Amino acid sequence: YPLFCDVAEELSGLSEEKHMEIQIEQTDCFVLGQDRLLEQVFYNLLENAVKYSPPRTRVTVTAKREGDSVCIRVADEGEGIPEAYRGAVFDPFFRVDKSRSRSIGGSGLGLAVCKRILERHHAQISVLPNSPQGSIFEMIFPA
């Protein structure tokens, strides 16, 4: 939770420029891991959510315990990711829309790096649709 707040603060310039709200729901859940690596994952996911969402939308971060794991979700109100690409977005250099890469920037390695870091923490990541619009990046950590 504190790491997400730090990351949201770092991204506040970008989110304010787009008149977006980053909402982090308070929780008593926590995960164990290397702060710097997990901060890199959370930064990448939040930055993507802000970059790929239209202005005046919201990004929501939630964490809750589910059985013997902790589920963290980063939900946005962007274009969403077509079902056919939901597994491939974690492959190095993969882009859903190649034309967007020039305008938005980035190397296409962010989500692949996130997946590797999470695997080192015995966690899984997947992307789900957010109704009515957008994506939810879901991370499941062992509790």
Q: Please choose, from the candidates 141, 127, 140, the residue with its C-alpha nearest in 3D space to the C-alpha of residue 49.
A: 127
For 32-71, write each residue's pLDDT tens digit.
999 999 999 999 999 999 999 999 999 999 999 999 999 9
Instruction: Give the pLDDT confidence of 66-109 residue by residue, as tens digits.
Output: 999 999 999 999 989 999 999 999 998 887 776 555 555 566 67
**For the segment 1-44, what is each residue's pLDDT rounded down to a tens digit?**
789 999 999 999 999 999 999 999 999 899 999 999 999 999 99
SS (H, E, C) the chain: CHHHHHHHHHCHHHHHHCCCEEEECCCCCCCCCCHHHHHHHHHHHHHHHHHCCCCCCEEEEEEEEECCEEEEEEECCCCCCCHHHCCHHHCCCCCCCCCHHHHHCCCCCHHHHHHHHHHHCCCEEEEEECCCCCEEEEEEEEC
pLDDT confidence of residue 98: 62
